[in-house]
Chains A and B, each alone.
Chain A
Amino acid sequence: MSIKWAALAQTAGASFVITVAVVTVFALGVLALSRREAALEAGRSGAEGAASGRGTLALAGASVCFAACAGVVLYGLSLIAG
């Protein structure tokens, strides 16, 4: 009887890395969204230009993060259906 320890360790390692990566990217997205809200807040209380620039940048960053997460979810779906 041979137990494939390497495959087991690989699965465990991959699971750990993917989980941490996905949640990190998602948290960055959440962070960017809250920055955007802060920027919008600043925009309302004067300092128009700079604040709206920062707001757009933050929104773009959040979109990238959430798109990446959506990509992982789609890959997960393809694994389920596969």
Chain B
Amino acid sequence: MEHITFLVAVVIITALAFDFTNGFHDTANAMATSIATGALKPKVAVTIAAVLNFAGAFLSVKVASTISGGIVNEKAGIQPSIIFAALVGAILWNLLTWLRGLPSSSSHALYGGLIGATVVGVGLHGVNFATVLSKIVIPAVASPIVAGLASWGATKLAYLLTRKTDEKTSDKGFRKGQMFSASLISLAHGTNDAQKTMGIITLALVSAGALHKGATPPVWVIASAGAAIALGTYMGGWRIIRSMGSGLADIRPPQGLASETAAATVILTSSSMGYGLSTTQVCSGGIMGAGLGGRNPRLNWGMARRMVYTWGLTLPAAAVVAGLAAVIVDQGTWGVAVVGTALVAGSGAMYLVSRRQPVHAGNVNDVTPVETTEVTPAAGTPAATVPTPASTTVAA
């Protein structure tokens, strides 16, 4: 362990911090609709999600061997400083979108961070833009649409088949089913996303000489990555859960089951085909499809539009922040210290702003979305003290 330098230690801590934000940012993916339909009580839902994320971390280390899936040329020299800058970009973007209650892709934030930091640290040739297009951009556009269509069709059929049944009885059945579909998404999320952090820590350890090249993640790395994502998941990310569960559409149990099944299916089929897509976008697409396929087709288009903008912005925004961080980190130890301080200060500030209008397990199903006006992120005002006109499109 004496090989571990200051920078590598900072990278490990930052990677775990990113893993934590990844957890609470993405709890909504699996659990938002289950909480909205009453299939699971909010606290129960986040506990199940946390346990399954932790368990998922131990299921596989396949993804961990390549953190970026060939997006950046890892052999060309990903230094710990580049990874650190990438993580800073990803964390700050994750926190900003959480503050605004917008589900954005943690994976895209990480990829964006890696791309930005690599371009600055290594140069344009360090990034495989063809892979970025075929493995990230195209699946990112296609997957929410596929999930939305599948979820829309499934919702229509579910309603058609159960139209003559007593709604109370059938809702009970669909709620039970949701427990399984939501659990599957949680487990898949833990497996995929905790592995990314393991991969990052392992790579940092290899570059410091503490592990030999091609080593699999040591047990303490797997356990700490699993614990960080589980802890984050348990914290709940209630702002995003509210946006996805009740801010986007009025989700009834059949719609919840359809959207979660669509999301789980799209995630599992594509990851077995090698596409690294965003759980967040798939789940949001599924919810939109289910909202439009329901008995009273309704979708909060304002919220949907904002989500789609955020998806488009995630990768470039994280890349810009990471690129900037990479420039400063390159100056040496004091650069690392400056960026680290900026990260802590920025995160703290966003946490403080969030306290002005907290969202928690108790008020997560209220219909007023957290974020209601079109302020720019730079303004940073939690503009939701005004009751929202958007809530008229969301049934109670």
Q: Which residues from chain A sit less than 8 Å from chain B, CB to CB?
A: 1, 3-4, 7-8, 10-12, 14-16, 18-20, 22-24, 26-31, 33-35, 37, 69, 73, 76-77, 79-82
Contact = CB atoms under 8 A, between A and B. Distances in A.
B175 to A, nearest CB: 10
Nearest to B165: A34
Interface in B249-278: 254, 257-258, 261-262, 264-266, 268-273, 275
Given A12-B146, A14-B269, A24 B158 contact: yes
Nearest to B135: A3
A16 B158 contact: no
Contacts of A3: 133-134, 138
A23 B268 contact: no
Interface residue SS majority, chain B = helix
Contacts, number: 124
B177 interface: yes
B2 interface: no
Given A3-B138, A30-B170, A31-B161, A15 B130 contact: no
Interface of B: 56, 59-60, 62, 130, 133-134, 138-139, 142, 146-147, 149-151, 153-155, 157-158, 161-162, 165-166, 169-170, 173-174, 177, 180, 184, 187-188, 191, 254, 257-258, 261-262, 264-266, 268-273, 275
Given A24-B158, A30-B173, A80 B188 contact: yes
Contacts of A18: 265, 269
B161 A34 contact: no
Given A27-B161, A30-B170, A81-B60, A15 B270 contact: yes
Contact of B161 (A19, A24, A33): A24
B174 A19 contact: no
B150 A33 contact: no
A73 B184 contact: yes
B169 A37 contact: yes
A20 B157 contact: yes
A11 B268 contact: no
B187 A80 contact: yes
A33 B264 CA distance: 25
B28 to A, nearest CB: 20
Contact of B180 (A19, A20, A73): A73
Contact of A76 (B59, B147, B162, B264): B264
Contact of B273 (A11, A30, A33, A69): A11
B356 to A, nearest CB: 39
A18 B177 CA distance: 16
Contact of B268 (A20, A37, A79): A79
A78 B3 CA distance: 38
Contact of A11 (B149, B184, B258, B275): B275
B149 A16 contact: yes
B257 A23 contact: yes
Contacts of A81: 59-60, 191
Contacts of A28: 161
B44 to A, nearest CB: 19
Contacts of B150: 15-16, 19-20
Contact of A7 (B133, B170, B188, B273): B273
Given A23-B154, A23-B158, A16 B268 contact: no
